Amino acid sequence: MESTAGSGSSDGEAQSSRRRLRDAVDDAVLASPARTAMVAFVLVAAVVTALLCLPVAVRSPGSASFADALLVAVSAVCVTGLTPVVTEVHWSSFGIGVITVAVQVGGIGILTAASLLGMAMSKRLGIRQRLLAAQATSASQLGQVGSLLRVVLLTMIAAEVVVASLLLPRFLLRGEGVWEALWHSVFYSVSSFNNAGFTVHADGMAHFADDPWVLSVIGAAVFVGSLGFPVVFVMSILWRTPRAWDLHTKLTLATSAILVAVGWVLLLAFENANPRTLGGTGWFGTAGEALFLSVVSRSGGFATMDIEAMSQMSHVVLDLLMFIGGGSGSTAGGIKVTTLAVLVLAATAEARGFTDTTAFHRRISPGSIRLAVSVLLAGGTIVLLGTIAMLGVTDEPLDLVLFEVVSAFATCGLSVGVTERSPDEGLYVLSALMLVGRLGTITLASALAQRSQSRRYRYAEERPIIG
């Protein structure tokens, strides 16, 4: 009897300990979904790194170096596309399969995938899962999360199926076998819609530089993927009434279109006479490749030409486009187009002497403006520190290092060759930049913050001299 009682008491204490541990974990997750996002991405990147370090993951005997495997793993999970090796040449079918899965998981988001799985199993989302999904998808209201998650999954599946279906006939016409064409169609549909930038041809996207159909399909997939799932969600339920779209959707679409047009014109002007890039390709080919690069430079990472051979003026244009990135809650990186839009609108309102910052007959809150300034400063600071670190471990010139750092932070993937030539220390720096860029500056800041603080008093107001 005493032994039974003792055993029951021990079981009760063990259950109580497990319950306290579970409650502590749940409270930590509920207190900071952002911190959970950061931990989840790090864990997935670690698993992918371990898989890529296996001898079966490479084509040649032996195994990949840890630095190469780590950078490619982080690049895949963060849907960037930077790689120190040629994907098709270095990695085996197993390794490329691991990269493809990592891109898909990274694109949909670790927490979004977990929430979708939970919803499929339980047919509903609890408040804790909604908070996590809201963090992962940038939903503005918890009540929208369930519908938004369905849109995320359905949009991703539908878009990738459509892209693969459009690419398959063209690959067959280019002389590829059925299975090879099918595999390439699936891979490029996943890589393009998720803005990953990975290719499975030794010469990259230059393999299709003379194929307007392939470039158009991949460019369109990159553009849609960079808009963000909140925008797709709004457009899917209100596609007949654009006037009813919210301010975020209008700002994202308008700013994205302006950036594509401006980038297209500038790249045409700077590279039209460059014999190493667009010079001599004919007007139609020049215009098409410049438009494609303008679309994918904000996050896609595909390139039909040698980026290093472009003029420094074009490098500056691409630096700016990459740093801006795509839409919030999308597979794109950067400071996001809405951040740029809010800052420009605020500066315009200040220049015109207006008290309120407005757009599309809506007033933008001061809190949104402060957040946009914070994102810009945080992004600029990260790029500055990353550039200093890369200059310290490589012998590359400043303009090339800055380009590679911006590409890593903005999870774009365009490269001027610095990644391939970098020592292991440089690969570690670029890996950290990609992880920070994918998580987002504000998400990272909130994840590291212990708790929010508010004062119970306000100081007297005074205006310093600005400018």
Rounded to whole angstroms, how far apart are CA atoms 382 and 378? 6
Q: H or E stretch including 68?
A: helix 66-77
Q: Residue 15: which residues within 8 A CB-CB, separation 6 or more?
A: none
- List residues bridging with 432 in a β-sheet: none
| pLDDT tens digits, one per residue of 115-161 | 555 555 555 556 555 555 665 555 655 565 666 667 677 878 888 99
Rounded to whole angstroms, how far apart are CA atoms 7 and 185? 60
Mean predicted lDDT score pLDDT of the chain:
84
| pLDDT tens digits, one per residue of 275-301 | 888 887 778 888 889 999 999 998 888
Specify whether the CB–CB gap between 84 and 52 falls below 8 A: no
pLDDT of residue 180: 93
Average pLDDT, integer, range 26-48: 71
Specify whether the CB–CB gap between 410 and 333 falls below 8 A: yes
pLDDT of residue 246: 87
At residue 455, does pLDDT exceed 80? no
> Is the four-CA dihedral 270, 276, 279, 281 of positive or negative sign?
negative
> Is the four-CA dihedral 43, 140, 299, 313 of positive or negative sign?
negative
Identity of the residue numbered 252: T
Tokens encoding 278: 């667009």
Q: What is the CA radius of gyration of the chain?
A: 24
Split at pLDDT 50, 70, 90, the class of 57 is: very high
Tokens encoding 54: 């296996």
Exposed/middle/buried for 319, CB within 10 Å: 0-12, 13-18, 19+? buried
Average pLDDT, integer, range 387-413: 95
pTM of the model: 0.87
